[in-house]
Every structure is written in C-alpha cells, then in structure tokens.
Structure 1
C-alpha cells in the first residue's frame, strides 16, 4: 500500500492526546481531501473514517500520531492517512474488524466501518502498538 509514499511526500502530522486533537486531525484530513479533489461524498467518507480511527487510537491506544498526505499512484490522486499509537495492540484483529464487536462500550463499528469507507485499509498491531493506514482515491 505504501509504494506511492516516497521520501518526497510531505506529511501533515497531528499528535493526538485529547479529544481536541481528534478534531484537529479531522480538519487536516478534510483540507487534504478538498485539495486532492475528492467529491463531497468521498471527503465525508474519508473524514468519518479518520475520525473513528483517531478516536480509537486515543481511547484504546492512549493517543498517538496521525500523519496525512496527498499522494499519487495507480489509483490517481488521493489522501493517505496513518494512525500510529504505542498502546497494547489489538488482541484479535479479525474479531475487531467484525461489525458489532467492541472491546469497550462503543457500537463496534469503528474499525469495520472505517474499512468500508476507504479504498485501501491496512492494520499492523502488536504489543508495541498499532498502525492503521488508509487511502481514499479520487476516482
């Protein structure tokens, strides 16, 4: 997934430690989505996915960093967003991606819902933390 992220890629980074930071991360993603020419519907899908993933990172991973950039690849122009935390990791990724499953008090739609809203979704997790990367292409 990351073949189109090169050394020349300029990232916007937002440290996420509070709910206000989640709002800031959403705003950065929205601006990049607008700049890349995503339709309003696709902007909304990307921002919704980013909001869910940043909130999950805060609640379950203790915070982290959101990095986002406009990218170009075989899919055209799009927005790449990475969510990286140093939390305990996700014990069972397959289960966590199941609609309706939640390790907390949520509705269980965060990870699976975010996955459906974007074109590319990758999750790497372990005891050292979790990294989720997403891409929404302007198609």
Structure 2
C-alpha cells in the first residue's frame, strides 16, 4: 500500500457511500476513517497490507484493513487517548477513527493488525453502536 493507494481508497469510499445515499457528514466520517487506517498501514507496516470496502445491504459500509506489521503495542492506552510525546504515531488517528464509526473491532498481534469498522446509514434498526 502506498500514499497513492490511500487516495484511491478515500475516493472509492466516497463513491461507495454516495451510491447508497449516505449523508454528507457520514461520507466525511468514512473518508477520514479510511484515510487514517490506510495511512497507518503505510506509516507503521511499511505499506504491507490491504483494504476491503463493501456495502452492507445498502444500509452501511464496512471497512476492513489488514496489515503485516508488528502489531499495535499499548492498544488500550491508545484507545483511551493517552499520549506518549516521545514516540511517533501516537495512536490519535486510530482513536479518531474509532470515534467516527458505529462499530470498531481491532485484532492485533506480532503478525499484524486487522481492523473492521462499520458505519450504518441510519439509526432506524441498523445502527448498532458496538465496539470490541
């Protein structure tokens, strides 16, 4: 994955969300999330990874990002917004992405990280507001 792939993924998620009539606000949330998650692959996994973008019965967008990096150390601290000013990659992008989405699942190990993020189009029976 490269910087160009990040731009391609952001443009694709915008088109995908527009095609199923997401609000402009939610389209922006999806674009920011895709940008943050794919940029993490470029910055922290030497670009070794991929993204899958898919619709969920025209009621949501599912983002799956998988990388082959060394895993996320201190994940709980990152997701609680704790900072370590002596390190690059403070995890603020990851926390921001989590806050923008309705569902956010992270699996990380020394073999890599997989993140699944879902944004539902509306709150009428589809939006679940779950995080693992």
1:99-118 equivalences under 5 Å are: 99=81, 101=83, 104-106=87-89, 108-118=91-101
- The 1:129–1:43 alpha-carbon spacing in structure 2 relative to 1, beyond 3 Å, is same
1:56-97 superposed Cα distances (whole Å, 9 cap, x missing partner): 11101222101010112xxx7010010100000012210121
Size of the aligned set, in residue pairs, is 120
Q: What TM-score comes out, normalization by structure 1 length? A: 0.79
Match of 1:44 in 2: 28
Match of 1:122 in 2: 105
Unaligned regions of 5+ residues in structure 2, if any?
Answer: 123-132
Does the 8 Å contact 1:90/1:96 carry over to 2? Answer: no
1:9-24 equivalences under 5 Å are: 16=1, 18-24=2-8
Task: Tell me the C-alpha RMSD between the 2 structures.
Answer: 1.7
Unaligned regions of 5+ residues in structure 1, if any?
Answer: 1-15
Q: Quick one: distance in 1 between partners of 2:60 and 2:15?
A: 12
Post-superposition offset of 1:107: 6.0
Match of 1:70 in 2: 55
Match of 1:4 in 2: none
Q: What TM-score comes out, normalization by structure 2 length? A: 0.83
Question: Which of 48, 67, 72 is matched with 1:85 structurally?
Answer: 67
Q: More strand by proportion, 1 or 2?
A: 1
Match of 2:128 in 1: none
Does the 8 Å contact 1:61/1:130 carry over to 2? Answer: no
Q: Quick one: distance in 1 between partners of 2:114 and 2:61?
A: 16
